[in-house]
Amino acid sequence: MTEALDPQTLDPQTLERLRRGIPLRLDRTGHFHLGDEPVTHPRVHAAFLAGLDISAAGELTLQVGNQWCYLTVDDCPLRATGVLGGDTGLQLRLDDGRTVPLDPATVWEDDEGLRCTAAARHSGRPLPVRLGNTAAMDLSAWIDDTDASEPPTLVVDRHHHPIHRHPPT
């Protein structure tokens, strides 16, 4: 019988090579692929979304249980499926199943639409989020774009947050 590799007993270089050698990719539509094969099982997909994180060095990672690896992400690791307004400000509904606060200062746009960040489930570091069509339409209720000479502004609780064409610093 073959014994499982114990990450505790591997030298750091071998472990790093193994973590980088897994051909895991998240495409821009939010589907995972292992090599050329799509990951289609709904519970595996949900576990992978729940395990998305970002390292201190800014590299995207995937944690399942006590194991983790690096992965390639074609766009943003998370997608917002909706934006909700309420007494506590705006909330993002994410494709990983969470509803989290939307920090208006993190909203920006590029040629393909709106983006923002949301805290990773494990580390709390900011993960990029692409707002889907429904989420962008939901957010439009709080966007003021009446002055064409200025960037659109997100207005939340009478605070104005310009939506720039580059990520916030």
Q: What is the pLDDT of residues 16-63, one digit of tens each?
A: 888 889 999 999 999 999 999 999 999 999 999 999 999 999 999 999
Question: 109 and 63 in one domain?
Answer: no
Say if 141 falls within a structural domain: yes
Distance CA 63, CA 52 (A): 6
Tell me whether residue 51 is in a domain: yes
Confidence bin at 3 (pLDDT 50/70/90): low
Asked if residue 49 and residue 36 are part of one domain, the reply reads: yes
In this structure, are 50 and 116 located in the same domain?
no
| pLDDT tens digits, one per residue of 96-131 | 999 999 999 999 999 989 999 999 999 999 999 999
Residue 169 has pLDDT above 80, yes or no: no
User: Are 142 and 117 in contact, with CB atoms under 8 Å apart?
Assistant: no
Residue 166: band (very low, low, confident or very high) from pLDDT cuts 50, 70, 90: confident
Q: What is the spatial order of strands in the sheet that 159-162 belongs to?
A: 143-144, 153-156, 159-162
The reported pLDDT for the residue numbered 1 is 47
| pLDDT of 106 | 95
Residues 134, 96 share a domain: yes
| Of 73, 95, 118, the domain-final residue | 73
Non-local (6+) Cβ contacts of 123 within 8 A are 53, 54
Q: Helix or strand or coil: residue 15? A: helix
- Do the beta carbons of residue 101 and residue 89 sit within 8 Å? yes
> In this structure, what CATH number is given to the domain that contains residue 34?
3.10.540
pLDDT digits (tens, 9 = 90+) for 53-76: 999 999 999 999 989 999 999 999
pTM over 0.75: yes
Identify whether the C-beta of residue 161 lies closer than 8 Å to the C-beta of residue 104: yes
Q: Residue 87: exposed, middle, or buried by beta-carbon count in 10 A (0-12, 13-18, 19+)?
A: exposed
What lies within 8 Å, CB to CB, of 165 at 6+ separation is: 108, 109, 110, 151
pLDDT at 10: 77
The boundaries of the domain holding residue 118 are: 78-162
Do both 158 and 83 map to the same domain? Answer: yes
